Chains A and B, each alone.
Chain A
Amino acid sequence: MSTHAAPAKTAKTIPFIERHYFLLRRLHSLSGVAPIGLFLFPHLTTNSSIVWGSTLNQGKFGDVVAQYGSDAAGVATFQHEVDFIHNLPALVFIEIFVLWLPIAFHAILGVYFARTGKSNIDRYAYQGNYRYWLQRMTGYVGVAFIFAHVSSLRWGWTYGGLLPTFDAAHAASSTAAHMQDGLLGTTIALLYLFSVLCLVFHFANGLWTAAITWGLTVSTGAQRRWGQVCAAIGAALAVAGTSAVIGFVTLDPEEARQVEDQLAGQVTQPSASH
Chain B
Amino acid sequence: MIASPNSTSASPVRTITVTIKRQNGPAEQPRWESFQVETQDTANLISVLQSIAARPVTTEGSATTPVVYDSGCLEEVCGSCAMVINGRVRPACSALIGQIVGQDNTITIEPMGKFPVVRDLSVDRERMFAALRRVKAWVPIDGTYNLGAGPQETPDRQETRYVMSTCMSCGCCLEACPQYQQEADPKAWDTSFVGAAAINQARLFNMHATGATEKEARLEVLTGEGGVNDCGNAQNCVKVCPKEIPLTESIAAIGRDVTVHAVKKFFTGR
Contacts and interface: CB of A to CB of B under 8 A. Distances in A.
> Do A and B share a complex?
yes
Interface of A: 17-18, 21-22, 25-26, 116-120, 123-124, 126, 128-129, 131-133, 135, 208-209, 212-220, 223
Given A133-B178, A215-B260, A216-B256, 4 more contacts: A120-B236, A128-B236, A132-B234, A213-B233
A26 B227 CA distance: 13
Contacts of A220: 246, 248-249
Contact of B253 (A25, A129, A208, A218): A218
A133 B193 CA distance: 18
Contact of B176 (A25, A124, A212, A216): A124
Interface of B: 87-88, 176, 178-179, 181, 191, 193, 223-225, 227, 229-236, 239-240, 246, 248-249, 251-260, 262
Contact of B178 (A18, A25, A119, A216): A119
Contacts of B246: 220
28 contacts: A21-B224, A21-B227, A22-B224, A22-B227, A22-B229, A26-B262, A117-B178, A118-B178, A120-B236, A123-B87, A123-B176, A128-B236, A129-B236, A132-B178, A132-B232, A135-B232, A209-B233, A212-B251, A213-B231, A214-B255, A215-B257, A215-B258, A216-B256, A217-B252, A218-B249, A219-B249, A220-B246, A223-B248
Contact of B235 (A21, A126, A215): A126
Given A118-B181, A120-B176, A214-B259, A132 B248 contact: no
B178 A218 contact: no
A131 B233 CA distance: 9
A120 B87 CA distance: 11
Contacts, number: 98
B252 A218 contact: yes
B249 A21 contact: no
A117 B179 contact: yes
A129 B176 CA distance: 10
Contacts of B230: 116
Nearest to A123: B87
B225 A21 contact: yes
B239 A117 contact: no
A115 B257 CA distance: 26
Contact of A213 (B176, B224, B229, B253): B229
A196 B63 CA distance: 60
Nearest to B262: A22
Contact of A126 (B225, B231, B236, B257): B236
A132 B229 contact: no
Contacts of B193: 116
A93 B254 CA distance: 38
Given A212-B251, A220-B249, A124 B256 contact: no
B27 to A, nearest CB: 22
Nearest to B235: A128
A116 B224 CA distance: 15
A126 B262 CA distance: 33
Nearest to A128: B235
